[in-house]
Structure 1
Amino acid sequence: MATPVAMVVGYSIFDNVITNRDPQVVGFANYVQIITDRAFWQAGRNTLVFTLVSVAVHMVLGLTFAMLLNTDLIGPRLRAAYRVVLVLPWLFTIAIVAVLWRMLLDPRGVVNYLLNTVGIDVGLTDWLGSPALALGAVTVINIWAGYPFFMISLLAGLQGIPAEMHEAAKVDGANPVQRFWNVTIPQLRPLLISLGLLDVIWTTQQFPLIWMTTGGGPMGATEVLSTYTYKLAFSRYEFALASTSAVVILLASLVLAIFYARSQKMKD
């Protein structure tokens, strides 16, 4: 595990590697170039928006559907059917998800047809081809593909809460909203923190979904740090700069990993 990390860190202090037979040490010049690159900061902003919105909605949808599947208000057969349907997005590979949503969001696809049918005039909107809409579109796709993990994990957490706690709160006069905030959420807090940190780490490093839907375009509207780094290496063949970008991402990921490790230690 240490060898490739050390190699990338080493590459980052040369003027270029792999394509240059005699690379020269440039110290921190590559880091200065990356940090002052406007495209890097745009990719960073896109990554931040993409991550924060995805994680927040994953939490809300996951908890909502988990509570739906944990309630006695619907019968066991209907609950079992819901479990199958709601977990389906998680069963698809990223390639299938990308192809599926590219067809759905095509200007002549199902989404535009349905919106126009119900009276929302969107015409032939190209959701993945519009600089103003593309980032929101890929964020929705990522939310759709990722919420089942939260749903399943939180459902297990809900089923682990003793029923006696809810019954005691009910006897004390707590209404459903009060029981949710004072019993359910405190019991799920360690799980919510762990899931949130893990999802932040995973989402900030999302590459295949972006690459197979928009490729970081149009006009950099969906460029994230992972696609930015990939293009430096395999489109521009600037492997030293790509390594530098990777090291910067690694440092940010280490901060998140430390927070996650500390949250697990506190939970234990």
Structure 2
Amino acid sequence: MQFGPFLKKSLPKYLFIIPAFLFVVIFMLYPIFYNIFISFQDVTIMNLKGDKSFIGVENYRQIFQDERFLLSLKNTVIYTVSCIVFQLSIGFLLALFFNQQFPMRNFFRSILLLAWMTPLVITGTLFKWLYDVDYGVLNYLLIQIGLISEPINWLGQQSTALMAIIVTNIWIGIPFNMILLLSALQALPSDVYEAAKIDGASRIQSFFKITLPLMKPATLVVLVLGIIYTFKVFDIILIMTGGGPVNATQVLPFFGYELAFVNFKFSLSGAVATIILVILTVISLIYLYLIRKEESM
């Protein structure tokens, strides 16, 4: 094979790839590897521009011994599991509902998407007003219908702050789950349902024997995307509670943010970010394993 004709034929293809390759290397791979690198060093605001000493796994030892890390990990797991369970289940029910034919179906589906399309800054501020102890609509409605006798400080007390954040994120994430699951439902083959109907299968039997098994790959995709998106929550915590009260809504990403930009302990923050990366990588590998297992069946 002559090198000249091959280069002339293939060079334009590689020129199209180079911008995307550079973007991935500069803005994704380099920050990830640099973050992992500094997590094994002692980097603070004092030596950020100077020499940095290598300290091995000392940062990870400090992180795992920190009570705030353990609390943040617990809050992150509770937050992620609670949000995913309700987002996926309610989103699936709405997808089944909007998969039916009825007037103005597309209009109502578009209205529901507004919850997901609205910027989180606006959504977080809106729910912060709704939860307000003095003039919040939620307290007003609950008092009017007799469920509570006095206003509840939803975001200002430890017992309710995390729950209030979870409800907010569930409201945000339901449309995302609904639209993806609805797309998968509409792609299911209709002839399978027609054959099941001819054989005398009821709608409930068709749902459990046909719909759920065929929806398993799409559900796994939505589940993994939801876990990754929810696990790295930051902006809504910053807007609504700032991690308080008394670390009641402290989660891993916000804990890492405080270490880096409040306490200026960049190496400890890098260790937290690396731990988050490892957790999400493990989840992604489990997803790939399940997908390959599903395809091999």
TM-score when normalising by structure 1: 0.93
Contact map agreement 1:44 1:224 (CA 8 A) in 2: yes
Separation in structure 1 between the aligned mates of residue 232 and residue 171 of structure 2, nearest angstrom? 17
Q: Per-residue deviation at 1:189?
A: 0.5
2:75 to 32, 46, 50: 46
- 1:191 alignment partner in structure 2: 218
Pick which of 256-265 and 106-115 moved more. Answer: 256-265
Contact kept? 1:198, 1:260, Cα under 8 Å: no
**8 Å CA contact 1:194, 1:264 repeated in 2:** no
| Counterpart check, 1:208 vs 2:235 | yes
On the 8 A contact 1:13/1:28 being kept in 2, the answer is yes
Give yes or no for contact 1:63–1:150 (8 Å, CA) kept in 2: yes
Aligned to 2:107: 81
What whole-Å deviation, never above 9, does each CA across 1:74-110 have from its counterpart, x for those lacking one? x222x23321222220120110110110011111211
**CA radius of gyration, larger in:** 2
User: What is the match of residue 117 of structure 1?
Assistant: 144
Q: So what's the TM-score if we normalise by structure 2?
A: 0.85
Which residue of the partner structure matches residue 15 of structure 1? 42
Q: Distance in 1 between matches of 2:111 and 2:30?
A: 43
CA distance in 2, matches of 1:176, 1:216: 46
Please provide the CA RMSD for this pair. 1.6
**Alpha-carbon spacing, 1:87–1:259, altered in 2? closer, same or farther (3 Å):** same
Aligned to 2:200: 173
Q: Which residue of structure 1 lines up, in the alignment, with residue 251 of structure 2?
A: 224
Counterpart of 1:141 in structure 2 is 168
The structural deviation recorded for 1:7 is: 1.6
Cα distance change, pair 8–18 in 1 and its aligned pair in 2 (3 A): farther
Give the aligned partner of residue 158 of structure 2.
Answer: 131
Q: What stretches of structure 2 of length at least 5 have no aligned partner? A: 1-27
Shift of 1:126: 1.3
Paired residue total = 265
Residue in structure 1 matched with residue 12 of structure 2 by the alignment? none
2:97 maps to 1:68: yes
C-alpha distance 7-80 of structure 1, shift in aligned 2 (>3 A):
closer
Higher relative contact order (CA 8 A, sep 6+): 1
Give the Cα–Cα distance (whole angstroms) in 2 for the partners of residues 208 and 39 of structure 1.
19
Q: 1:255 aligns with which of 277, 282, 289?
A: 282
Contact 2:143/2:151 (<8 A) preserved: no
- Structure 2 CA distance for aligned equivalents of residues 205 and 122 of structure 1: 37
Report runs of 4+ in structure 1 exceeding 3 Å deviation: 260-268
1:132 is paired with a residue whose SS is helix
Q: Which residue of 2 aligns with 1:105?
A: 131
**Amino acid in the other structure paired with 1:30:** N
8 Å CA contact 1:58, 1:150 repeated in 2? yes
* 8 Å contact kept, 2:228–2:280: yes
Deviations 1:221-257 (A, max 9, x none): 1100000000001111111111111111111121122
Worse-superposed segment, 218-227 or 121-130? 121-130
- Give me the whole-angstrom Cα distance separating, in 1, the residues matched to 2:58 and 2:200: 65
- How far the C-alpha of 1:33 sits from its partner, in A, is 0.5
Where does structure 1 lack aligned partners over 5 or more consecutive residues?
A: none
